[in-house]
Amino acid sequence: MSESAALIDPFLRGIGVGATLVIAFATWRSRVGRDVRIAGLLMGLGVAAWLITESMPLWGAFGRAYPLVLLANPTAGLFWLFIVTAFEDRRVTWATLSPSLLLLASGIAMHWTPHPAADVIWSLRNIAGGLLALHAGAIMLRGWRDDLLEARRRLRAPILGLCALYAVLEVFVAFAHRLDPAGPWLTLAVGELWGGLIITVLILALALVFLQARPEVFGAARRAEPVVDTRAEAADRLALDKLAGLMAAEAWRREGLTIGGLAAELEIPEHRLRRLINQRLGHRNFAEFLNGQRIEAAKRRLADPAEARTTVATIAFDLGFGSLGPFNRAFRAATGASPTEWRRQALASASPELKEAL
């Protein structure tokens, strides 16, 4: 790195670190959901530490503090955690924290393991980080069409998608540098000037959104109050009635049902159907809306004494769930209980003998 670059790099990196910490703490103090606040704060701390420790001059200014290394180790896992909480509405649990914890543990092990075992751990960590970034990108791409929050949909590809692509690029650069330390791709590494510039620009772009931390983007779905006695309200009510009729006819059972296809069947624009399902029915994505219909059907079957011997898995598969895990998670999210617990409670008053058998 040239002398001028050595002066510019800490300046750019300082801007990135400062913006990252402001985003993290602004998100923490905002009104968005608890899980997004936790994930956002952890990701911000990890990215800030990563920016510092990847720059030898800047890290040296911090006295090569080892706690910063610990914060930087799970950065890829913390980015993935933020994506699944913000875009898949998942909770911060030991399961969703496990990638970050594994990266943290392997990072510690790598620093205390002699070569060549340390090189193997380094390779596995970078591969894992790349896979997490790819999965985060896949989540944002996969859920783009079904996302009912227009503001959140607009974030997926242009900003966070670029962050995921940059994370994958960093993994490629790291392996390429190991094979050819003099290669031109080194300039794109996060520890170099151009790499630091790219990540700083991405962070500043994120700041435009996250400093607002709008609840309509990351918070719980909120139902809009309908406007009374207007033609728009009458049209919305008609569309909602037609939608309710299709759901009552179990349109949700159709394989491959999309929001675009449903909008065409209702003869309304897709953006309008998104707004109605989000603001009038309180759902954040189309899959959640369909699962809500399936869960209601599951509750009826689980509460039916005639189906007391039908397994939970059979009911889940009959209602269109591909496996038992997603059904259990969706059911617990909707009712606060597992299907088995809910069935036991629902049948408690039907027959003491049946309750005991269950």
In this structure, the answer to whether residues 213 and 341 fall within a common structural domain is no
Q: CA angle 91-94-100, nearest 5°?
A: 95
Give pLDDT, residue 31.
74
In this structure, the answer to whether residues 100 and 154 fall within a common structural domain is yes
Query: What radius of gyration, in Å, describes the C-alpha atoms of the chain?
Result: 25
In this structure, the answer to whether residues 310 and 189 fall within a common structural domain is no
Give pLDDT, residue 100.
95
Give pLDDT, residue 213.
47
- Residue spans of alpha helices (H) in 211-280: 215-218, 231-248, 259-266, 270-275
Last residue of a domain, one of 218, 234, 260: 218
In this structure, the answer to whether residues 49 and 132 fall within a common structural domain is yes
In sequence order, the β-bridge partners of residue 322 are: none
CA pair distance 117, 223, nearest whole angstrom = 55
CATH number at 340 reads 1.10.10
Last residue of a domain, one of 267, 284, 301: 284
In this structure, the answer to whether residues 145 and 158 fall within a common structural domain is yes
Last residue of a domain, one of 218, 245, 269: 218
CA pair distance 25, 258, nearest whole angstrom = 37
Give pLDDT, residue 94.
92
Residue 239: give the domain boundaries.
223-284
In this structure, the answer to whether residues 149 and 291 fall within a common structural domain is no
Segment-wise mean pLDDT, segments of 10 residues, the chain, 358 residues: 68 85 83 85 91 81 81 91 84 93 92 86 89 84 70 64 76 77 72 77 74 54 52 81 88 81 88 85 82 88 87 87 83 86 80 52
In this structure, the answer to whether residues 279 and 340 fall within a common structural domain is no
List all residues 6 or more positions away from 327 whose beta carbon is below 8 Å from its beta carbon.
298, 312, 316, 319, 321, 339
In this structure, the answer to whether residues 36 and 158 fall within a common structural domain is yes
Cβ neighbourhood burial of 256 (10 Å; 0-12, 13-18, 19+): exposed
In this structure, the answer to whether residues 303 and 232 fall within a common structural domain is no
In this structure, the answer to whether residues 227 and 350 fall within a common structural domain is no
